[in-house]
Chains A and B, each alone.
Chain A
Amino acid sequence: MTGFKETYGRKPKLAVWKFASCDGCQLSLLDCEDELLALTGEVEIAYFLEASRATVKGPYDVSLVEGSVTTPHDAERIKKVRKVSKTLITIGACATAGGVQALRNFADVTDFTRVVYAHPEFIKTLATSTPISEHVFVDFELRGCPINKMQLVEVINAFLNGRKPVTPSHSVCLECKKQGNVCVMVAGGKPCLGPVTQAGCGAICPAFARGCFGCFGPMELPNASSLMGWWKKHLGATDDEVIRALRTFNAGAEVFRKEGEAHGN
């Protein structure tokens, strides 16, 4: 295991790219506070428009990509980003699952453009919002809406030190149980997506007695149909409530999409 600096004798060049997104995940990088100074000591922030207009030309050793692809222009731009990036890491639910804007995938996008824009004929948008991995090869996907800043530091840290990042793909339930959170579903009868959602947020919502909203998307091996069956049979959830729970930030994630469709439209 050798670090980047030992191998190349210089700091790696980092770029941050934005596609269709709210900027929240990029902000997590600036939000690193305690770690930010240490981070700038270890990487050269070469391209990060949210933080500075000053940019350094590529190629880049590592690119963080936020957002989904929703326009023909972006579908081309992501290819260019891939070309100038040795390692490409997507950050957040938009980049990994299409984001909340993937709700358009369940409807006709022209219905929206007609309502929103005075001259929808000028709007060049795609019918779908798709994750980056549908367009180019992605080296690592970091989940979350927004991402957890400590996980972001961990992923960059692992990259710098040539090791595997510690970002478990198991359920949120394990985080709850390790922290001693009381199960909101079993003890409170509240619908919770935790049993089918990937950990990483630190089980924030259940820690405050709220059901999990599924911000980190499906865990590995999720059984959404069993969970939704239980919601309906034992927690009194309606089809509409099931669909709405599954169609948020990770609406486009295959498991959530399919399960939602199984309960109507």
Chain B
Amino acid sequence: MQGYRLEPSGLEQVFEKLKSQSYEIIGPKLKDDAIVYDRLTRVKDLPIGLTDEQGPGYYRLKKRNDDAYFGYVLGPQSVKHYLHPPVFSLWQAKRTEDGFAIPKERESAPRYAFIGVRACELNAILIQDKVFLDSDYQDPVYLERRKNAFILAVNCTQAAPTCFCSSLGTGPKVEAGFDLLLTELINETEHYFVLETGSEKGQVFVKDVNLPAASEAELEAAQNRVKATEEQISKKLPTEGIKDLLYASYEHPHWDEIAERCLSCGNCTMVCPTCFCTTVDDVTSLTGDTAERVRRWDSCFTSDFSYIHGGSVRPSSKSRYRQWMTHKLASWQDQFGSLGCVGCGRCISWCPVGIDITAELEVFRQERGQSESN
């Protein structure tokens, strides 16, 4: 492992350099009662000295007793908001004398530099890469944003009780998919970052910032910090035989029990960094002279999502929750070759009634284990 030592004051230099390369900086920022991804103009926009407490259906901001820049776990949003925008106008048509015309000009895609991306989120991006890019039909909106993106990742220095990335091999240590990586270290005497590069773009970026190499002790401190984070993770989602387990549990009565609590509100799908479903709305001007097709995030928890001739295929919250969980953990594997879950725990924290996917899975697993041992 090779790395550099970056002082907190050096962060400003990183920001300035990103701006000079005409990146729009997107990073963690305090908004209302949470830390969200938003546009940043300066280092002071970061949630300095703030942290979060999370649990099922629960998120609270707290003050830290230090000035950590990345001393929080995760907010409600992921970078999905920017790479796969919630609402996007796909095309417009204008009525002409002899039919209609589709204006071709498109705005060029934004150049985002994402600051503070965690290991689970990077893995979510890699999953969305498969969904949007790894087929004959690439999503051009995602492609241009993804191609332009600069990613400054951050190793987690603490975990929430809702985190379970270590069960899925998606964290907490950042392994791949980044340009630059920071590990924040704070002890009695010092506050600094260990900075690593993960791509050619990252190496070029660091080259003319002129940073001192990190010492062996500093590199080791960074590694230990991430190890300590991993030890904090208590939640587990055992993946062994998970596909067969869910496929075999299709008619299990526990889905009815979940449905008594599930609100079908769709929050879990909105905050999930891998959920990608959209629908399109066709709208017109009052005169009918222009028409527009707008794409917006949709959710398998809505009735319209599975509405076909004659009605909705999934009219109950039982069928919707079952579809969502089975897709995330089982059929995603058949479709894309991996799980559709990265263990970020957002669906647990941001479910208004605290439904915990790991706890629900455990019910199916326990009962199956019992029926097999009988």
Which residues of A does B touch, CB under 8 Å?
3, 5, 35, 38-39, 41-42, 153-154, 156-158, 160-161, 163, 166, 168-171, 173-174, 177-189, 192, 194-196, 209, 219-223, 226-227, 229-230, 234
Expressed in whole angstroms, the Cα–Cα distance for A163 and B261 within the complex equals 36
Cβ proximity bits B26-42 to A, threshold 8 Å, 1 near / 0 not:
00000111101010000
B260 in contact (CB, < 8 A): yes
* With A171-B264, A220-B303, A234-B354 already in contact, 16 other A-B pairs whose C-beta atoms are closer than 8 Å: A41-B287, A42-B287, A170-B266, A177-B86, A177-B270, A177-B297, A182-B31, A183-B34, A186-B349, A187-B34, A187-B60, A188-B33, A195-B263, A223-B264, A226-B262, A230-B353
Once A177-B271, A226-B353 are accepted as A-B contacts, the answer to whether A187 and B33 lie under 8 Å apart by CB is yes
- With known contacts A177-B271, A178-B296, A183-B352, A226–B303 Cβ distance under 8 A: no
Q: How far is the CA of A156 from the CA of B288 in the complex (A)?
A: 12
Q: List 8 A-B pairs, Cβ < 8 Å.
A: A41-B286, A153-B286, A177-B271, A182-B33, A183-B267, A187-B33, A196-B265, A223-B263
Residue of A nearest to B37 (CB): A180
Known: A180-B77, A188-B33. A226 touches B260 (CB 8 A): yes
- Among candidates B34, B283, B296, residue contacting A154 with C-beta atoms closer than 8 Å: B283
Q: Which of B262, B282, B297, B351 contacts A163 (CB 8 A)?
A: B282
Measured CB to CB, the closest approach of chain A to B368, in angstroms, equals: 26
Give complex CA distance A180, B79 in Å.
Answer: 12
Q: Are A177 and B283 in contact (CB under 8 A)?
A: no
Given A168-B302, A170-B304, A174-B297, residue A209 in contact with residue B32 (CB < 8 A): yes
Docked complex: B161-186 residues within 8 A CB-CB of A? none
A195–B267 contact, CB under 8 A?
A: yes
CB <8 Å contact, A35 and B286: yes
Check if B286 sits within 8 Å of A157, measured CB to CB: yes
Q: Determine the residue in chain B with the shortest Cβ distance to A206.
A: B32
Q: Answer whether residue B145 sits at the interface, using C-beta atoms and an 8 A cutoff.
A: no
Q: Are A174 and B302 in contact (CB under 8 A)?
A: yes
Q: Inside 8 A of A153's CB, which chain B residues have their CB?
A: 286
A202 to B288, CA, bound (A): 25
Residue from the list B59, B81, B286, B299 in contact with A174, Cβ < 8 A: B299
| Residue contact B57 to A230, C-beta cutoff 8 Å | yes
**Quick check: A169 and B304 within 8 Å, CB to CB?**
yes
Q: How far is the CA of A223 from the CA of B318 in the complex (A)?
A: 12
Contacts of A195 in B (CB 8 A): 263, 265, 267, 352-353
Question: Of A168, A187, A222, which contacts B304 at CB under 8 A?
Answer: A168
Kindly state whether residue B87 has any CB partner on chain A within 8 Å.
Answer: yes
Question: Residue of B at shortest CB range from A154?
Answer: B283
B316 located at the interface, meaning its Cβ lies under 8 Å from any Cβ of chain A in the complex: yes
- Interface positions, chain B 191-218, Cβ under 8 Å from A, are none
**Of the residues B86, B349, B353, contact of A227 by C-beta under 8 Å:** B353
Q: Which residue of A lies closest to B294 (CB)?
A: A166
How distant is the Cα of A227 from the Cα of B354 in the complex, in angstroms?
A: 11
Shortest Cβ distance from A169 into B: residue: B303
Q: Which residues of the partner chain B approach A178 to less than 8 Å between Cβ atoms?
A: 86-87, 270, 296-297
**Which 5 pairs across A and B sit closest by C-beta, in order of nearness?**
A177-B270, A178-B86, A195-B265, A187-B33, A171-B265
Contact bitstring B231-251, A, C-beta under 8 A = 1, else 0: 000000000000000000000
Residue in A156, A173, A188 whose CB lies within 8 Å of B265: A173
In whole angstroms, what is the CA distance A177 to B304 when docked? 18
Contacts A38-B287, A42-B287, A173-B267; is A221 near B303 (CB within 8 Å)?
Answer: yes
B332-374 contacts to A (CB < 8 Å): 349-354
Distance between B41 CB and nearest chain A CB, rounded to angstroms: 17
Which residues of A sit under 8 angstroms from B87, Cβ to Cβ? Answer: 178
Q: Is B10 an interface residue (CB 8 A)?
A: no
Mark each residue of chain B from 75 to 106: 1 if its CB lies under 8 Å from any CB of chain A, else 0.
Answer: 01100010000110000000000000000000
Q: Of all chain A residues, which has the CB nearest B31? A: A182
The reply to whether A221 and B349 contact each other, CB–CB distance below 8 Å, is no
Shortest distance from the beta carbon of A155 to any chain B beta carbon, whole Å: 12
Q: How far is the CA of A235 from the CA of B33 in the complex (A)?
A: 16
Quick one: which of B287, B296, B299 has the most chain A CB within 10 A? B287
Q: Is the pair A38, B76 in contact by a Cβ cutoff of 8 Å?
A: no
Are A42 and B265 in contact, CB atoms less than 8 angstroms apart? no
Chain B residues near A5: list those with CB within 8 A. Answer: 288
Q: Does B317 contact A (CB under 8 A)?
A: yes
How far, in angstroms, from A219 to B32 measured CA to CA in the complex? 26
Whether A171 lies near B266 (C-beta < 8 A) is yes
Q: A234 to B285: give the CA distance in the assembly, Å.
A: 46
**Contact status A182-B267, CB under 8 Å:** no
Query: Complex formed: what's the CA distance from A37 to B366 in Å?
Result: 65
B352 in contact with A173 (CB, 8 Å): yes
| Residues of chain A within 8 A of B34, CB atoms compared | 182-183, 187
Contact of A171 among B36, B58, B263 (CB under 8 A): B263
Q: Residues of A contacting B301 with CB < 8 Å?
A: 170
Question: With A and B bound together, what is the CA distance between A223 and B10 in angstroms?
Answer: 51
Which A residue sits closest to B57, measured CB to CB? A186
Q: Are B267 and A196 in contact (CB under 8 A)?
A: no
Q: Is B284 interfacial (CB-CB < 8 Å)?
A: yes
A227 in contact with B32 (CB, 8 Å): no
Query: With A and B bound together, what is the CA distance between A187 and B57 in angstroms?
Result: 9
Q: Which residues from B are CB-within-8-Å of A41?
A: 286-287
A181 to B267 alpha-carbon distance, docked (Å): 12
User: For the complex, what is the distance from the CA of A114 to the CA of B324, rounded to whole Å?
Assistant: 55
A17 to B354, CA, bound (A): 45
Shortest distance from the beta carbon of B36 to any chain A beta carbon, whole Å: 6
